[in-house]
């Protein structure tokens, strides 16, 4: 049984409903939000509440590791990291965050990447590196891998696939 990693900040992406996310937009088609060019008629910028789970996760991990100021000499906040990533090629065409850019942003204090993980890999990473960003099913649609959380430990000694996580969707600790 892994205990919970103490001191991992808990942030809520819902607190950023009025803050733009990257430079990506959507239009409404048949009542659904569909990615679109920002110069398209009726285009609206996505906000961090809707698209920013990995961004918010990254700030939790950076702050846990003691990164309080980014490469831009500004405090590490969700808004400041989003602006830096937008200006430094930290997002792909559809708003996906390139975690490798965090090494530069953190002045080489934190290096994150996306890799396939199983329970053993996740356990080993938690023990040696601290909190880990992992993909999970979307809380709104159930789509696999369309949301992310920060794994902070395990709280179920019987079920080795149950992890304790900080979920930016609501800013809650859950399993």
The token pair that represents 8 in the structure block: 């991992």
Mean pLDDT (whole number) for 82-92: 95
CA distance 127 to 25: 39
pTM of the complete model:
0.92
CA distances for 135 relative to 43, 97, 116, angstroms: 28, 13, 10
End-to-end CA distance of the chain: 14
In the chain, % of residues over pLDDT 70: 94
At 128, is the pLDDT very low, low, confident or very high (cuts 50, 70, 90)? confident
């Amino acid at each position: 049984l892994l205990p919970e990693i103490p001191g991992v900040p808990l942030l809520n992406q819902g607190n950023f409903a009025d803050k733009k996310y990257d430079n990506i937009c959507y239009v409404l088609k048949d009542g659904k939000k569909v990615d679109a060019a920002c110069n398209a008629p009726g285009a609206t910028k996505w906000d961090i509440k809707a698209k920013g789970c990995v961004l918010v996760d990254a700030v939790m991990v950076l702050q846990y590791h003691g990164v309080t100021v980014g490469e831009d000499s500004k405090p590490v906040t969700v808004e400041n990291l989003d602006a830096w990533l937008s200006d430094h090629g930290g997002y792909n065409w559809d708003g996906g965050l390139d975690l490798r850019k965090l090494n530069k942003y953190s002045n080489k204090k934190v290096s994150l990447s996306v890799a396939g993980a199983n329970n053993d890999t996740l356990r080993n990473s938690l023990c040696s590196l601290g909190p880990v960003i992992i993909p999970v099913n979307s809380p709104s649609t159930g789509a696999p891998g369309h949301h992310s959380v920060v794994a902070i430990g395990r709280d179920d000694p019987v079920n080795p696939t149950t992890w304790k996580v900080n979920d930016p969707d609501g800013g809650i600790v859950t399993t």
